[in-house]
Structure 1
């Protein structure tokens, strides 16, 4: 017996899975560069959120047309790839349609896969038209030039090619079944690929076998290439949407975290019996962070870094952002893309220096994200509400603002005036407490 095809298949399979695993290892390492944060409370609600938002696509269908098409592609692609299990078994053991013994159940599955494959092709074609013919505005912001724009189209071509290979494989297989070819026992239902039979009827049996085998090999190899392409693509969200929605912030929107060190300082200032000049008691360590806020990716928490890798670049956040709509420089999508790009840069730096980061003279603030972008944000949470996978660009914006104010005293003049008034007058307006009635005219 010739075992060369099985050996070759095993090598391709191991190489594909091995490379994917090595990239996932880098991904996990990069995310762990973030600061610690506990997001394990309310587990039941977290599981419900993941099931509803990541699996159930609840926030996608808020925009019905795009949402419905996305559900078709998502469900179709996931379910069709159930057949990959059969392909792997056949590839490793030299069998052909090993699950054919399931009979009518197998016929139903293959038939369903084919209908879904056709619907995926139709949906992806519409997505391509929206991007390249209709040219929806949110796909053409400045951050979507170059690779992000190409990536959006590459993934669509990938999906169409994989579905066509699947249907071509089945069409040639079905034609061989009708011809009574050896090893091609009748199994499966082919509502779509049977339409290919007229194209194949003039081919010899040997040519049909070559077509079927070529489509089979290209299909599984394409799936492995697609799997490894995910790490370099915005479509990494296919995998990360699930943990991202599970670890999402459950606090009410608009509720921000407080720095314990600052809270303690305020309490000390408000305590009439406290000595502000007292030194900490022996053995007592003041809870003062090394840095207030964030100027680089390692200052952000690990969930924020997970957010950056999960970003789908769909632009719903930016299209809903009032600052962006009124011509401000801010794009919440760019905030996430910049965070991911800087994190990747830090990761590559570590790869080149044996796992140790060597200062490259850059940081997320200024080199990627400008103060102008940060201060354009109105903190309205529209971007957080719009995101289909529970990403929070606002949390990154606020942490970087915190750094500008508390570390660099670099707040805009209007904000500095307001904070000075609060400190001196107990209110944002420039009147002392004896002139409260003057406030009504402001």
Structure 2
């Protein structure tokens, strides 16, 4: 019976970590459904981007209020959870505050004191976030794509953080031995009077309950991430590392098409020449993308990393002028379709069974795709280097090159360019007329 608590703790820890590991494997499998893409160039710049953007939150603070609050929550929550290491060791070995045995009292007190101050700052920041979302109701949190689940998800994670910070402080406040040390109890000593009439036995029960609820809550939070937009807590690091290093205006050209155009313009080219066996410019099986399997794995990683913050949509000129396009919805739809494909694979013994659906039309409409101005505002403003435009362009490429389904205005423009050398319907002999347009 003496080790029953330790065994129970080990089982809960094993279940929590095991389920998380299972979901991580599923996540990796889904991302690997995408096409291969080489993003291993310029590693020094990639490391710098990851440190500055994911770790340093450099793009978050461009909007100071939300940015500073997010930095507080991010840093506070991460640092406070160093305490989880002590909880795990105590739970496995049956000790109590093992840190006191491993560290000098002054060092231990400094760490716990810092954790308590950060816990208060996190709690206050989360309250402000909740008010911005539910009382002030910032427009970007209430767009049409923010249906019940996305809206509830944002609040659920805020409640999680409030509860976990409260449990941490209550655990310290009701720990009689810790309070007697009078070191590190910067905040919790002010909570002690709330339990003034409680006996030492009652305080011990409250402290143990808070301890158990805190660690179980951490494990639940960890496993909730897979189903939440807050998966970006983990994926922001690889996403910013592998983010595009090309100039924002650079388009992704297909080598097969480029070589075909060069051949058409070369009078000495032999159109019937057989390409070398090791040639890398073979015509792809499909131009562009109509479903998630046609996108590359980095674009799928982008979709899972989306924070649903709505900064991209709030900066989108098409959205601002009332058009259907929302870059956030593009990423959310891609992720939802990817999850649907993943469940299909799970249900069919590792093989995808055609379900009569695809990303194009069933999730993302042509109207949304053609509303995009390709201005890169969404890419520039994203705090974790997501690129919705790349997905939009791949799906447009499919519409034009596979279905010949470009809008009539675009077809007219391309016909004019082909015939007249310009987008306007004037003969080349009448170039001076163009100035009047």
**Could you say whether these structures have the same fold, taking a TM-score greater than 0.5 normalized by the shorter chain as the test?**
yes
| Per-residue deviation, 1:231 | 0.1
Q: What is aligned with 1:147?
A: 149
Q: What is aligned with 2:383?
A: 388
2:69 is the counterpart of 1:69? yes
Cα distance change, pair 284–47 in 1 and its aligned pair in 2 (3 A): closer
Q: What is aligned with 2:24?
A: 24
Q: What is aligned with 2:356?
A: 361
List per-residue Cα deviations over 1:117-160 (Å, max 9, x = no partner).
00111000000000110000000011101100000000000000
| Per-residue deviation, 1:435 | 2.4
Given the alignment, which residue of 312, 329, 338 partners 1:317?
A: 312
List per-residue Cα deviations over 1:409-429 (Å, max 9, x = no partner).
110111001111112222212
CA contact (8 A) 2:287 2:402 kept: yes
Q: TM-score, normalised by structure 1?
A: 0.96
CA contact (8 A) 1:79 1:113 kept: yes
Cα distance change, pair 78–274 in 1 and its aligned pair in 2 (3 A): same
2:409 is the counterpart of 1:414? yes
Given the alignment, which residue of 110, 113, 116 partners 1:114?
A: 116
CA contact (8 A) 1:294 1:399 kept: yes
List per-residue Cα deviations over 1:270-304 (Å, max 9, x = no partner).
0012243x152585766100110000000000000
Q: What is aligned with 1:299?
A: 294
Distance 2:183 2:4 in 1: 27
The runs of at least 4 consecutive aligned structure 1 residues that moved more than 4 Å come to 176-179, 281-286
CA contact (8 A) 2:173 2:191 kept: yes
Distance 2:148 2:426 in 1: 52
List per-residue Cα deviations over 1:343-373 (Å, max 9, x = no partner).
0000000000011000000000000000000
Q: What is aligned with 1:329?
A: 324
| Per-residue deviation, 1:388 | 0.2
Distance 1:36 1:257 in 2: 14
| Per-residue deviation, 1:433 | 2.5
Distance 1:199 1:149 in 2: 34
User: Secondary structure of the equivalent of 1:134?
Assistant: coil
2:274 is the counterpart of 1:280? yes
2:168 is the counterpart of 1:166? yes
Q: TM-score, normalised by structure 2?
A: 0.97
Task: Name stretches of at least 5 consecutive residues in structure 1 with no aligned partner.
Answer: 180-185
CA contact (8 A) 1:35 1:300 kept: yes
List per-residue Cα deviations over 1:48-87 (Å, max 9, x = no partner).
0000000000000000000000000000000000011111
Deviates more, 1:201-210 or 1:405-414: 201-210
2:341 is the counterpart of 1:341? no
List per-residue Cα deviations over 1:381-416 (Å, max 9, x = no partner).
000011000000000000000000010011011100
CA contact (8 A) 1:106 1:187 kept: no
CA contact (8 A) 1:86 1:99 kept: yes
Distance 2:355 2:370 in 1: 26
User: Secondary structure of the equivalent of 1:144?
Assistant: coil
Q: How many residues align?
A: 434
| Per-residue deviation, 1:432 | 2.8
2:253 is the counterpart of 1:251? no
Distance 1:281 1:27 in 2: 38
